[in-house]
């Protein structure tokens, strides 16, 4: 019951702060709660999925290729689809300042790898999916429910990108969740994949290729 209450609390904090366009505050608050919970339980980081993969080289290569593929699928297919379904456009206004600005691009790149990829995966995959699995089990139906709940919350946590952004991000969250499950609840593959997804995405915005690609999609749709 306590685990369920804390899960709901973390989900509420992340969702509310995203709706108010201050997602960083929600992430920090969630991490404080998760850190206290792990300390009180007497657990280590291994309970979040921080244990070495069987093959580091293959994990890094797989995450690199997956990150590139997922980001291009997102730009060319997923975001246009989400725009159409929600009758809105993904709000990337928070990233407009990095277009053609190398300093901002490098700063955000470091931020993505040091903070976003690690922290979001700790919260949504390592903690949420791990605790949901403890609550409802790891049968196929339970894993499906786990995936739906965690990816929905992941999408809501990105509501500051608009309805379309929340939908497309939620779908990407489901893909990362599948990677987490298929890798035996090991957090390294989703962390690295998440990092490469954001790296490619930021680079496309930096060189203004995201708009170019979306315009080409519109021409042929």
For the stretch 28-71, pLDDT in tens is: 999 999 999 999 888 888 889 999 999 999 999 999 999 999 99
- Higher-confidence position of 32 and 91: 32
Q: Where are the alpha helices (DSSP H) in 44-121?
A: 56-73, 79-86, 102-111, 117-121
Burial class (CB in 10 A: 0-12, 13-18, 19+), 167: buried
Residue 175 has pLDDT above 90, yes or no: yes
For the CA atoms of 98, 82, 144, 20, the dihedral, rounded to the nearest 10 degrees, stands at 60
In degrees and rounded to multiples of 5, residue 205 shows phi and psi of -70, -40
pLDDT band for position 105 (cuts 50, 70, 90) = very high
Burial class (CB in 10 A: 0-12, 13-18, 19+), 24: exposed
d(CA 134, CA 148): 16
- Token pair belonging to 151: 């990816």
d(CA 221, CA 216): 9
CB atoms within 10 A of CB 58: 11
- Report CA torsion sign: 101, 103, 107, 112: positive
Residue 178 has pLDDT above 80, yes or no: yes
Residues 6+ apart with CB under 8 A from 133: 142, 143, 146, 185
d(CA 198, CA 210): 13
Single pTM value for the model: 0.92
pLDDT of residue 91: 81
The 8-class DSSP code of residue 183 comes to T
User: Quick one: what percent of the chain has pLDDT higher than 70?
Assistant: 98
């Amino acid at each position: 019951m306590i685990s369920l209450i804390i899960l709901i609390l973390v989900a509420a904090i992340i969702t509310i702060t995203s709706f108010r366009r201050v997602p960083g505050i929600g992430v920090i608050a969630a991490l404080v709660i998760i850190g206290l919970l792990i300390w009180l339980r007497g657990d280590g980081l291994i309970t979040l999925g921080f244990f070495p993969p069987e093959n580091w080289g293959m994990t890094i290569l797989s995450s690199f290729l997956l990150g590139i593929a997922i980001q291009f699928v997102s730009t060319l297919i997923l975001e246009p689809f989400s725009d159409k379904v929600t009758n809105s456009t993904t709000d990337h206004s928070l990233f407009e300042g990095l277009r053609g600005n190398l300093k901002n691009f490098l700063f955000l790149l470091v931020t993505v790898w040091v903070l976003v990829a690690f922290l979001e995966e700790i919260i949504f995959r390592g903690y949420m999916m791990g605790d949901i699995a403890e609550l409802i089990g790891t049968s196929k139906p339970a894993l499906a429910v786990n995936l739906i709940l965690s990816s929905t919350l992941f999408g809501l946590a990105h509501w500051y990108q608009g309805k379309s952004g929340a939908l497309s991000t939620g779908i990407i969250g489901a893909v990362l969740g599948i990677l987490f499950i298929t890798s035996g609840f090991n957090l390294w593959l989703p962390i690295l994949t998440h990092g490469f997804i954001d790296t490619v995405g930021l680079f496309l915005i930096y060189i203004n290729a995201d708009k170019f690609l979306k315009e080409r999609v519109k021409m042929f749709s």
